[in-house]
Amino acid sequence: MKLEIGDIRIDRIEESCDISNLPHEDFPDATPEALAPYLEWLKPAAIDPATGRIIMPVQTYLVRTRHHTILLDTCVGNHKHHPDMPLWNQRDNYRLLEDIAAAGVRPEDIDFVMCSHLHLDHAGWNTQLIDGRWVPTFPNAKYLFCQEELDFAQEEGRKGDSVYGESVQPVLEAGLGEVVAMDFALDDNIMLEPTPGHTPGHVATHLVSQGKRAVMSGDLIHSPFQLPHPEWSPVYDWDRAMGATTRRRFLESLADTDTLMMSQHFPAPSTGHVFSKGDGFGFRYLGCDMVHG
Ligand SMILES: [Zn+2]
């Protein structure tokens, strides 16, 4: 799916779309009773009608400005060790790189890699396993990291998580990492917004060109059922209260504006506009008649 924001071209490229957990397994507030009023619109795109499970795409946004070619988040990747996550463990599937190539971009063409945060499904293709060694997948890119997120990922690594060791450290050791502030601006087109809660160093990435605006929201919101209930934080938020506060503030800032929200895990087409609805929000997807909330 191709989008344009002023003279910025954006390709939304899915790595996978899996049927994941039951909502209340990840979102304790999303009990079957609490979710019942919303199933009519959550099915079939966001909740699988057959199993009641969350439908969970994993994707990257390939961004081309007049000056730079940028990847926003790098999905799960291949051969990564995630024994607790069978769907994402030891993958061997080059679809993402093939689809980036089909959009006319080779790995060596990427100028910047920007991860909203350093979880397994957002930093995986930072590296790939070549001859038994993890090497940066995008050899000419600068990988921009926030120190808060590096510290958190390293700490998670000490507890046994594989992301830092497999997808971050090899980039730093290759000299391709660059630490930036959580409100860093790359130029007049691309700027970060601190959105902590899911992780300490989580950022949203704003794209601005010719008066048009979009923002990639990373994992500050996962599912459309958080639109009516921004306070429903998932168990995998580092600070669930902070996550809820950030989520509501972010949705309020977008609601009823022309800014396009590019989500990570909403069902395809994943992008659209936020509107106010009662105490919460709704989402009008781009290029189709699907509305959630
Ligand atoms: Zn995610």
Q: Which of 85, 90, 97, 21 is nearest to 52 (CA)?
A: 21
Confidence of residue 266 (pLDDT cuts 50, 70, 90): very high
Mean pLDDT estimate for the chain: 97
User: pLDDT per residue over 124-165, tens digit each?
Assistant: 999 999 999 999 999 999 999 999 999 999 999 999 999 999
CATH number, span 2-292:
3.60.15.10
Q: How far is the CA of 1 from the centre of ligand 1 (A)?
A: 20
Q: Is 93 left (phi over 0), alpha (psi -120 to 50) or beta?
A: beta
User: pLDDT per residue over 89-135, tens digit each?
Assistant: 999 999 999 999 999 999 999 999 999 999 999 999 999 999 999 99
Q: How far is the CA of 228 from the centre of ligand 1 (A)?
A: 20
Note whether 82 and 89 are within 8 A (CB). yes
Domain boundaries, the chain: 2-292
Predicted model pTM: 0.97
Q: How far is the CA of 49 from the centre of ligand 1 (A)?
A: 22
Give yes or no for residue 1 having a pLDDT over 90: no
SS3 150: helix
Burial bucket for residue 214 (CB in 10 Å: 0-12, 13-18, 19+):
buried
Q: How far is the CA of 141 from the centre of ligand 1 (A)?
A: 22
The conformation of residue 141, written as its DSSP 8-state character, comes to P
Distance CA 203, CA 192 (A): 6
